[in-house]
Structure 1
Amino acid sequence: MNTSYWPIHSISSNRSSGIQLKAAWHWLLRRLDATTEPRVWKSTDASGQTLWNAYDPISQVAIDHASADELRTWLEELHYHS
């Protein structure tokens, strides 16, 4: 009976290549999505009231759970400080 063991490197190299490809893909998506414009999105609280959130990638400052007026003021301050 032959009990020789010959490791198959193609499986581990395929996994390694797959992981590297996935990492490269995520890096590319982040680069394509990169912007200097503030990102704004809305959310709702438990009572259903609309709240606003925003993030400025240049200053790395965020505002969370703001009213529309608070968000507007925050955006204007960003504009005038730059």
Structure 2
Amino acid sequence: MSHSIGQNWIENQLDDMIRPFVKEKMEMIMREEMEQYFEVEHPEQTYQKNGYYNRNLDTKYGRISDLQVPRDRENHF
């Protein structure tokens, strides 16, 4: 007995696999941008990390929930 796998099912599976990868890379890029901002572009400003805040991001792969956006104490970045 042969069952065909629907195109939508395959696309959904791929999206489910890609979303965590995109989330990880976006968080890494934002952390690196923040470090670059303080260490290279504005070394005169005080650099005190203040954790993260969460945001949702809609992408062509679906919604990425709880994306951690870095922040600093004085909101320079």
What TM-score do you get using the length of structure 1 for normalisation? 0.35
Structure having the larger proportion of residues in strand? 2
Larger RCO (alpha carbons 8 Å, 6+ apart): 2
Larger Rg over CA atoms? 1
| TM-score, structure 2 normalization | 0.37
